[in-house]
Amino acid sequence: MIIGLDVGGTHTDVVLLGEEGVLRQVKVPTNPANLLDTVWTGLQEVKAGIHPKELDRIVLSTTLTTNAIVEGKLVPVGVIVSSGPGIDPEAFRIGDHYHVISGSIDHRGREIQPINVSEIESITSRLKKQGVRYVAVVSKFSVRNPKHELQIQETLGDDFEFVVLGHRISGNLNFPRRIATAYLNAAVYPIHKRFFNAVRQSLSTDGLAIPIHVLKADGGTMNMDASLQYPGQSILSGPAASVMGSLPFVQDAEETLVLDVGGTTTDMAVLIRDAPLLDPVGIEVARYRTLIRSLKTVSIGMGGDSAVSVAGGGLRVGPERMGRAMAYGGSVPTPTDALFVLAKDDRGDVDAARRGLEPIAAALGKSLEETAQLVFDTACHRILQAAHQMIQEINGKPVYTVHELLEGYKVNPKSILVLGGPAPFVASRLRELSDYKVRTVPRWEVANAVGAAIARTTCELTLFADTERGIATAPEEDFYQPVKSDFTMEKAVALAKELLRDKALREGADPDDLEMEIIEQQQFNMVRGFYTTGRNLRVKVQVKPGLIRHSRTITQKLNEDLTAAGTGTTGVAG
Amino acid sequence: MLTAPRKLGLVFFPAFDWAISPTHPEREERLLYTQDQVFEEGVLDIEGIEEFKPDLATMQDLRRVHFCAPDEWSVVTESHLISAGGAKTIAMSVLDRKVDRGLALVRPPGHHAMRVVHGARGFCNINIEAMMVEFLRDAYKIDRVAIVDTDCHHGDGTQDIYWHDPDTLYISLHQDGRTLYPGTGFPHELGGPTAVGSTINIPLLPRTSKEGFLQVIDGIVLPILKEFQPELVVNSAGQDNHYTDPITNMNFCAQGYAQLTERLDADIAVLEGGYSIEGALPYVNLGIILAMAGLDYHTVREPDYDPVKIRQSEDTTQYIDSLVGKVIEYWRECPDILEKNRNTKKFDERERTIFYDTDNILENQRERIRVCRDCSGVLSVDSLTDRGYHIFAVHVPRKACKACQELGREWFETANLRSYDRVFLQDRLEREYLIRKR
């Protein structure tokens, strides 16, 4: 059995999955001040009476690191940066301990200027004096040659608790993002470590020494050891959980839009057949642009608890949330209240909801029912509009070859999968308002926790080879191998896949469940003085984000629930 | 996070799957290291820098500018249409005010492509700047345009297309034609009889460095631009004046390009040549991008940059001093020459031999223009290649008078199809592009 747990802004969802599908589902209110307590309560409830031996693993998706970043609760991090020619690295200053040092490497990984060890020694002693325990080390083009970052790490010695090296984070080029990503990984390290150690200890006191996996923003999982090395990868895994939870329910359609309508926000993503679309560069969180691999998701400030008001004679819904719906004891009317007025929901205080919307109706000069309908429709229209905009943005992405431009693949989803609290109501209205084929995800209330539970371990790897310089290198793995001029694309791909396999297994993948694919493959002849002097090869491979093999029986069961409910359009929570 | 003081639009189209031939300077690898540098510097993340996807140029875009023999698809590939389309996309983003300035880093280049196209010259098949400008004239009612060509080679194609157009100022800075392809672009080349002074050529001695380029910008280009008062300034931004360029002999550098770009302050820049793909392009392109966006570029330089080693000689400085005086003097005389032409000539003719070095074609042209008092005059071109292909082409200018338009129509209708393989009409006034075939 697998436990899936997803910490949301309002609720924390926990499910217990077995061969028969969802065995248990639990929803506990999230206490942002004590996430450990929240997680612990959820786990206790879901596993009550289950024998430890029956549990295979736990997958956690938490907002811990995200919250720390958004709220600025980050530990001091020493950032050591070497740039060489280009944009002034002062432009990327981050944190209170940012140091620019000499040293430079060019786009092919050739050393232009060595680093100066005495500079680093003096920074080391300063950081120590200031009590800084975490360090990020980043040099420009370190993904083409990590030599300088490694030398700096060596000079830093063993005096720091955690040192992040830029080239280990991602094979992608982007120096400013590499700086921000290394910084964030270091800055959330202690809080992440403390939390997961606490979870592990609590579980083992209960006799549960089972593997703990962490959900990543790209919709894959990693084991705890890997997550301690790269805690930043757990940032913004919430939307990924809902996308993975929707994946089993994609039907016949080529492309599907996933909408997770929560209390505060609606998160949206695109599935192309059974593969979620990934962000080409990396996640953006609290104005930090990073190289953290993530699903392409868009989040808008429009959810069940968005504040409803009248501004300039017109209706305004969202983007901010001011507590819960009035039907649940809040003080500001919300789209959820509108659903109560429209008698679509009756699990709260209908009178409070009506009271909340009355002043709005008066200001608009409409009846209460008309106003409620307007509130709800406004919310639905905003969601559709944002979805449309996201699709346009995806299709407007620049391309770099003639082939890509002419064969330009356009995303054009025809169906929508909805999950989250108000899913069935939103789904049925969207069906009326648009041409989309709209369905709810079975168990729409906890589908995100299901998604976390059944997500496969993923990873990515970039391999560069430069036969003129005679090297092949996979920077994320600190892999370096001399190659001869006969090193072909075929060999490069084979090598990249071999390295990827090792990495995936180390991060907790099931050896029989590695769906590897090439995501980028480029080869250039290098010509100098009218003679071909070598080849420049670039290969990027990944373990595809997807669902674990034995999730099939579970999701089959969920699909049967869906079929049993008839059209599958009204959401059938257990 | 960096924020650009001026919004910059960028079209980046390295055409990673297109080359003239595997070892040609204009090959797949050309913008590879530029892309590496642009990506690694995080340029596309800078607030205010927006990347656009290039549109494909259309046949209509092509017909506004060129007479393609035997037809369009024989001289262009999809790459050319994307490259020209990229220039068009960036221009639209500027004129629609989505951005303040636009830069198209595209390939293949275009400034050696003339009005008549039988094949490729100097790696160019179609003139991407001219296609962009003529599109803007039709779509946005732009009239006066200045094109400043900073490629190391004389932009003989752009000069040819605008030779008779008084509303397009074409200024070219380049390595002296006696020392470099295509061998043209001397100060006395000032434009056709009805457009004298709208072409300005500034040949520079080999090994001219930053000081010389900037002196020419300040002493010639900016004063003439100021007087011409263009609605739009376009930079044909060739980057082969660099001290490491393998096919030229100049001593310009990334800092110099950035400063030149800042002073010129063009609305739109379109990449032309530049073949030092590793030592120059990544740094020059970065400098130009930052300068156009109004960002600090003082830390952008080549890894091996040594200003002392590439400093221009005293002779070169003296040459430029006298060149600035000479070019300005020529240019001041142009209004009088123009007036005299209109008073003394009815028609004017020139005969030329044009060599298509890339495709090895030799073309003989006879051009005839009506030296009109009311407009820039209708133009015909009789063009015969050494392969025996013979065309007759008529260009009716954008602001043609009635008489010139009627004469152009008549030339087109009455051209003897037994002597020509094709007869073309480019009526820019009526926006009509016709072909008569044998």
Interface test with B, best of A82, A92, A106, A279 (most B CBs within 10 A): A106
Chain B residues closer than 8 Å to A400 by CB: 12-16, 35
Beta-bridge mates of residue B362 = B355
- Here the tokens at position B118 are 């039988």
pLDDT value at residue A33: 86
Picking from A146, A169, A192, the residue at the C-terminal end of a domain is: A169
Within-domain flag for A558: no
Name the 3-class secondary structure at B210.
helix
Instruction: State the first-to-last Cα distance of chain A, in angstroms, to the nearest integer.
Output: 19
- What are the angstrom distances between the C-alpha of B13 and each of A36, A188, B73? 50, 38, 21
Considering the domain architecture, whether residues A274 and A361 belong to the same structural domain is answered as yes
DSSP for A462-479, written as a single string: EEEEETTTTEEEEGGGTE
Pseudo-torsion of CA A286, A288, A289, A295, nearest 10°? -40
Set out the domains of chain B in order of their start, with CATH numbers. 3-323 (3.40.800.20), 347-437 (no CATH)
Cβ of A527 within 8 Å of Cβ of B32? The answer is no
Which of A87, A175, A402 is closest, CB to CB, to B299? Answer: A87
> What is chain A's Cα-based Rg?
25
Burial class (CB in 10 A: 0-12, 13-18, 19+), A18: middle
CATH number of A264's domain: 3.30.420.40
Same domain, residue pair A312 and A354: yes
Distances in Å between the alpha carbon of A143 and those of A107, A147, A480, A481, B44?
Answer: 9, 10, 11, 14, 19
Q: Has residue A274 been placed in a domain?
A: yes
Please check whether residues A450 and A511 belong to one and the same domain: no
Consecutive 10-residue averages of pLDDT for chain A (574 residues): 90 91 91 90 92 92 89 95 95 97 96 97 97 98 96 96 97 97 97 92 88 95 94 93 92 86 90 88 92 93 92 90 90 95 88 95 95 96 96 86 77 93 93 95 92 95 95 94 95 97 95 91 88 93 89 75 49 34
| A322 and A465, same domain (yes or no) | no
Q: Give A399's contacts in chain B (Cβ within 8 Å).
A: 53
Determine contact, residues B113/B127, Cβ cutoff 8 Å.
yes
Helices then strands, each counted (H, E), chain B = 12, 16
Which residues of chain A make contact with B2, given a CB cutoff of 8 A?
Answer: 87, 91-92, 176
Distance (Å) from the alpha carbon of A409 to chain B's nearest alpha carbon: 13
CB atoms within 10 A of CB A350: 15
Cα dihedral value A297, A301, A305, A308, nearest 10: -150
Domain identity same for A23 and A105: no
Interchain contact, B12 vs A536, CB within 8 Å: no
Residues A445 and A395 in one domain: yes
Predicted confidence at residue A206, as pLDDT, reads 85
Residues of chain B with pLDDT under 50: none
- Report pLDDT for A567: 40
Q: Please indicate, yes or no, if residue A293 is contained in any of the structural domains.
A: yes
Q: State which residues form the domain around A34.
A: 1-47
| A107 and A241 co-located in one domain | no
Nearest-neighbour CA in chain A from B142: distance (Å)? 27
Judge: B82–A405 Cβ closer than 8 Å, yes or no. Answer: yes
User: Do B53 and A86 make contact, defined as CB atoms within 8 angstroms?
Assistant: no
Is A85 close to B33, i.e. CB distance below 8 A?
no
Helix, coil or strand: residue A482: strand
d(CA B48, CA A313): 34
Q: Evaluate whether residue A203 is within a structural domain.
A: no
**What does the pLDDT read at residue B385?**
97
A177 closest CB neighbour out of B2, B18, B45: B45
* Pairwise CA distance, residues A123 & A77, whole Å: 13
pLDDT of residue A572: 36
CA distance A480 to A483: 10
Work out the minimum CA distance from B261 to partner chain A, whole angstroms: 17
Is the same domain home to A319 and A413? yes
The DSSP output letter for A211 is -
Which residues of B are known to be catalytic? 112
Give the other-Cβ count within 10 Å of A188's Cβ.
26
CB hemisphere CA count around B71 (13 angstroms): 6
Q: Give the residue from A149, A169, A189 where a domain finishes.
A: A169
A525–B28 C-beta distance less than 8 A: yes
Q: How far is the C-alpha of A298 from the C-alpha of A283, rounded, in Å?
A: 11
Same domain? For A292 and A411 the reply is yes
Tell if the CB–CB gap between A398 and B11 is shorter than 8 Å: yes
The domain tally of chain A equals: 4
CB atoms within 10 A of CB A342: 17
Q: Is residue A199 part of a domain?
A: no
- CB nearest to B17's CB, from A141, A402, A526: A402
Find the CB nearest B42 among A176, A398, A403: A176
* Interchain proximity A87–B42, CB inside 8 Å: yes
Closest approach of B29 to chain A, Cα-based (Å): 6
User: Residue A400: its pLDDT value, please?
Assistant: 76
Interface probe with A: pick from B2, B40, B247, most Cβ of A within 10 Å? B40
Q: Which of A92, A398, A526 sits opposite B51 (nearest CB)?
A: A398
Chain A residues with a Cβ under 8 Å from any Cβ in chain B? 83-88, 91-92, 104, 106-108, 112, 140-141, 172-177, 281, 287, 289, 396-403, 405-406, 522, 524-527, 529-532, 536
Tell me whether residue A565 is in a domain.
Answer: no
Domain-located, residue A58: no
Has residue A127 been placed in a domain? yes
In 3D space, the residue among A161, A159, A392 whose CA is nearest the CA of residue A270 turns out to be A392
A424, A489: one domain: no
Let me know whether A361 and A304 are in one domain. Answer: yes
Compute the nearest-CA separation of A75 from chain B (Å).
20
Contact B45 A140 (CB under 8 A): no
- Closest residue in B to A521 (Cα) is B16
What count of other Cβ atoms lies within 10 Å of the Cβ of residue A20? 10
Q: Which tens digits make up the pLDDT trace of B125-140?
A: 999 999 999 999 999 9
Q: Measured between CB atoms, which of A175, A401, A406 is closest to B42?
A: A175
Cα–Cα separations (whole angstroms), residue B267 to A407, B144, B292: 31, 13, 9
A437 & A376 share domain:
yes
> How much is the pLDDT for B393?
98
pLDDT at B174: 98
How many Å lie between the alpha carbon of A106 and the closest alpha carbon of chain B?
Answer: 8
**Partner-chain contact B42 A174, CB within 8 Å:** yes
Nearest CA in chain A to B55: A405
* pLDDT attached to residue A397: 82
Neighbours of A493 (CB within 10 A): 17
